[in-house]
Copies of this chain bind each other. A is one copy, B any other.
Amino acid sequence: MRWEELEKQPCSIARSLAVFGDRWTLLVLRESFMGVKKFADFQANLGISKTIVADRLRHLTDHGILEKVAYQKNPVRYKYKLTRKGLDIYPVFLSITRWGDTYYPGKKGVPLVYHHKNCDHDFNAVSICSECGEPVDARDVIARPGPGAGSYARSANETLSEKKVG
C-alpha cells in the first residue's frame, strides 16, 4: 500500500494519520498548541526550511485545522490560528506528552509542566472511558467492525472480527 492510499482505508487512525501523521506536520501543530501563530516563529522555533514550514502550514490550512487570518495590511501579514477541528487534536498531544514524560523524562525531570486553569493545578492527561469514567487500558478493550467497516472488515477479517486489543 502506498501512503497516499491510507485515507481511503475505513480506519480512523489511518485517516487521521493521513491528515496530520507526517512528522513535521506534528511538530508544526505542536508549535500551534504552544501559542505560535506567525510564520517566522514557526520557522525559528523548528529550525527547518521555509519551504517545509510553508508546505505544512498550507496543508493544515487546506484541511481546516489551521485558519489563515490577516492581522495587518500594507504589507499584509498573516497568522495561523487553530480551528475547533485543530483544537480537538489536543488530546493526541496530551497523550503523546504523557508517554514521553513517563519513558523519556530526561535526567532533570519533565521539560514542560502543564497547568489546568479551570482547577488551578498542574496536571497529567488521563484517557478514560466515556461510559464508566475509568482509565482505559489496552488489554481491557475489544474492537469490532462498526457500520463503516465495509470491505476492510472482510479483507482483514482475522484482525477485525471482534479482537482483543493489545
A→B interface (CB under 8 Å): 1, 3, 6-7, 10-17, 19, 21-23, 26-27, 30-36, 41, 45-48, 82, 85, 87-119, 121-134, 136-150, 152, 156, 158-160, 163-166
Do the beta carbons of B12 and A111 come within 8 Å of each other? yes
Do the beta carbons of A136 and B143 come within 8 Å of each other? no
A36 to chain B, nearest CB (A): 6
Interface residue SS majority, chain A: mixed
Q: List 11 A-B contacts (CB under 8 A).
A: A13-B30, A16-B104, A17-B27, A88-B99, A90-B137, A111-B152, A115-B141, A115-B143, A124-B130, A126-B130, A128-B128
Do the beta carbons of A146 and B12 come within 8 Å of each other? no
Do the beta carbons of A1 and B48 come within 8 Å of each other? yes
A154 to chain B, nearest CB (A): 12
Do the beta carbons of B94 and A136 come within 8 Å of each other? yes
